[in-house]
Structure 1
Amino acid sequence: MLKNEKAVVVFSGGQDSTTCLFWAKQQFGEVETVTFDYGQRHRLEIECAQSIAKELGVKNTILDMSLLNQLAPNALTRSDIEITQEEGELPSTFVEGRNHLFLSFAAVLAKVSGARHLVTGVCETDFSGYPDCRDSFVKSLNVTLNLAMDYNFVIHTPLMWLDKAETWAMAHDLGAFEFVRERTLTCYNGIIGDGCGECPSCQLRRHGLEMFLQGQSQEIGR
């Protein structure tokens, strides 16, 4: 634990970033969050992030990233683009360069606020093929940021090698299972909690939840 250190969590108010926020609060003495407004289809995502940050007693900064929507049209920002995923191709929800830009801007915020730790919920296990969720990318960007800003950042990826069931298990171990299940917004259709149950994000979340609960039942039954 780094109780004398400060961390900035890249925060959307979803399952992964909220689990990372609980993790960061356990690890670091001071934690704040940064949320990016890039023209999300559902403004509720930003409101959800603000609400969670307030309830957990951490500062939340909203940064305008609307230029990203202009550069990279996608199903997360355009209601006229259908949410699809064809075999062997990236899903239509992929936003080119999103994690690269988010982490870079979070690093600027972190340095100015005196934090050297960045926390992000990217994951290479359940990542739908997104190139900027890979461990190799994060490590490379970490080196680049340190050189570009002459500052010793450490990018933490607590979920990198976890599947969704293991992410639920982490939330459980952090005492945050019910909070994450009931308060977070992962659904592409903008429904908090268990979501619509139909979109790819909800299906992934639900499958992980079912696997976690099944494991819990087996443990109790022993």
Structure 2
Amino acid sequence: MRVLVVDDDLRMAAALRRGLRAEGIVADVARDGDEALRMVRAAEFDAIVLDVMMAGPDGFETCRRLRADRMWAPIIMLTARDSVYDRVKGLDQGADDYLTKPFSLAELLARLRALARRGPVERPVVLQVGKLRLDPATRQAFRGDAEIELTAREFTLLETFMRRPGQVLTQNQLLEAAWDLAYEQRSNVVEVYMWYLRQKIDKPFGVRSLETVRGVGYRLRKDGGG
């Protein structure tokens, strides 16, 4: 495993590097967010250990930039702050895990192993298909620069499609994604909500992004309707 440690506290960074190397992990150190971005562009890492409290771009901003540059190595954030707000902010910027200081090296190693098993899977913070854009953290949807007001159910359905552009989804798959098992009025509810979605994300813009595949289900075009 090759890990990048990003921390402007050089003593802490050196201690982490020694601990990781003692476990047979190849560990490199970046002193700030800018250096981390340069290093990740130049080499492949299996995971990134990213401190939140840094001078210059902090850990949150560094994480956001990494994901914006489509760098998908798993990220675990380290912080002395343990508020729910900080944890949520880090995860919403694209982090995969969060560890509060002080922590044991054994726990960090276990979390790194778990993250490395997932691999660098593409998982953008903001979903985009063509001109359609969806931000699950802020619950906002856009076509181009125009914001689209969606209900919670409509948002969930659109998110389901945008995570699988071009893939045909059956009514059962859509029901499982947006309705719980206790929901009883399931006969034509998907058809109704597909009509709602089309009225909001397609019709006002003169496009057709949601297609019906007869006898199978529905799909979102890979170009998002242009």
> Which bin holds the TM-score, normalised by the shorter protein?
under 0.3
**Which structure: greater helix fraction?**
1
TM-score scaled by structure 1?
0.23
TM-score scaled by structure 2?
0.23
User: Which has the greater radius of gyration?
Assistant: 2
**Which structure: greater strand fraction?**
2
